Every structure is written in C-alpha cells, then in structure tokens.
Structure 1
Amino acid sequence: MKKLVLTATAAVALSWASGATAEDLEFLLTNKASSPVIAFHVSPASTNSWEENLLEGGYLDSDYEIDVVIADGQTTCVYDIRAEFEDGDALEDYGLDLCELGSYTFE
C-alpha cells in the first residue's frame, strides 16, 4: 500500500487571504520524478515572489500523488509553481491555468 508522507494530511491547504466570493481551487499533484519533492510553492502568476512551502515538514515521494487545495481568496486560475527536489534539482513553471489543467505531474 502506498502512503504519502506529509504533515498529517492528504491535502495541502494554502490560505493567504480570505475572500467571500472566491472559490477554492483543487488540483492533483503527482511526482513521477526519480527524487522526492521536498518543497512546493504555488503563487498567483501576478506576483513576483514565492509563497510559503506547502510541504513544510514533509515531502512528496516518487510515484505518489496528493490533492492540493488553494484557498487563497483569489479569483484567478493562473499560478506559477516551484518544486525543490531532494537531489538538489528545482523546477519552475509559469502561467499555468490550474483550473483547466486539473493536475500537474513532475517527470
């Protein structure tokens, strides 16, 4: 049985600001890379800095997946992502429409 090592939950919630009219955005994050993801950041594409590490205290091992919930009060679907891997590699991807994609896979 596969299990995911995170900070006690199977979903990662990101809560920057609260907005009454904004919808939460949920997508599936899969790690097919050979190294575990030790840090994962999601930021609205309109910002110039990375938000907090959503995996703080945990990691996403190879061949595992997790549901990510972004509850930041934003009305956008377009985000930038950054992942840092245990082997020292990093990946950044910009301008992703996470509402349309529904998932993201590191390969």
Structure 2
Amino acid sequence: MRLIALALILLPTAALADLRKFTLVNHTAVNMTELYASPTVADSWEEDILNGEDLTPMGIQTFTIKDGRDHCAYDIRAVFADEEVLLDTVDVCHAEVLEMLEEDEGEDPQEKGDIPVGQAL
C-alpha cells in the first residue's frame, strides 16, 4: 500500500485570516481525482473542489475558500486514482502551500492527526 502525507508551508502572521487561500501541489505519482475541504464543524463533506478535473502528478492548483464562514480549521479529503485517500485537518487561514507527498511503502500507516503537518519545507 502506498502512503501519502500532507505537508504545509505556513504563513508567518495570523493577520491573514480573511485570505483563506492555499496552493495544492500533488507530489505523488498518481492523479488526484477528488478534493474536499469542509469546516471541521460540518457534519458532511462539501462539494469536490476539483470540479471533476484531475490534479496530475506534480500538478499545482490554487483554491480560495469563499463559503461565508469564519472558520479556519478545515478537514481535507484527497482521493487519488488508485483509491488511496488522505484525510487531515488544515488551518486554511495560515496555510500557504499544501503538498501531497508519497512516503516509502515500508513505513507504517498513519492515523489522521499523525501526519506531519505544520512542517516547514
């Protein structure tokens, strides 16, 4: 089983909470087919923000969250063509770049929350 991790590059200031904008980089060898970003307080996933367009390996796309909410903590669900799924929680008010990274197959699977987030790259 292929493992995928999420790494973040964070903005240095909290004054940018209204900018809820992030760039996603697919550093895997597989197309990302779906991407969901829902506030942690939501009971279900919002719509697929890739809108049916795959994010190819090494693909880059910028997203702006304009849902009328004031939340910064969003659950992220990325689905890949090989049916791998990555789940994590991201502070979209401070995240500048989200990078999907492949890890060695020999590593143990990680639970949500154990993925190395907030790591400067």
> Aligned match of 1:60 in 42, 52, 55?
55
Q: How many residues align?
A: 85
TM (norm. structure 1) is 0.73
Higher relative contact order (CA 8 A, sep 6+): 2
Distance 1:81 1:27 in 2: 12
Aligned to 2:65: 70
Structure 1 residue runs of 4 or more that deviate by more than 3 Å after TM superposition: none
Partners of 1:55 and 1:67 lie apart in 2 by 10
Choose from 36, 41, 48 the match for 2:43.
Answer: 48
How large is the RMSD of aligned CA atoms in angstroms?
A: 1.5
What is the 5 A alignment of 1:1-107?
Answer: 23-94=18-89, 96-107=90-101
**What is the one-letter code of the residue matched to 1:74?**
R
Cα distance, 1:23 vs. partner? Answer: 3.5
Structure 1 gap segments, 5+ residues each:
1-21
TM-score w.r.t. length of structure 2 = 0.65
Amino-acid identity (%): 33
- Rounded to whole Å, the distance in 1 between the matches of 2:84 and 2:56 is 14
Secondary structure of the structure 1 residue equivalent to 2:93? helix
Match of 2:112 in 1: none
Segments of 5+ residues of structure 2 without an aligned counterpart are 1-16, 102-121
Q: Per the alignment, in what secondary structure is the counterpart of residue 102 of structure 1?
A: strand
Q: Is the 8 A contact 2:36 2:47 kept in 1?
A: yes
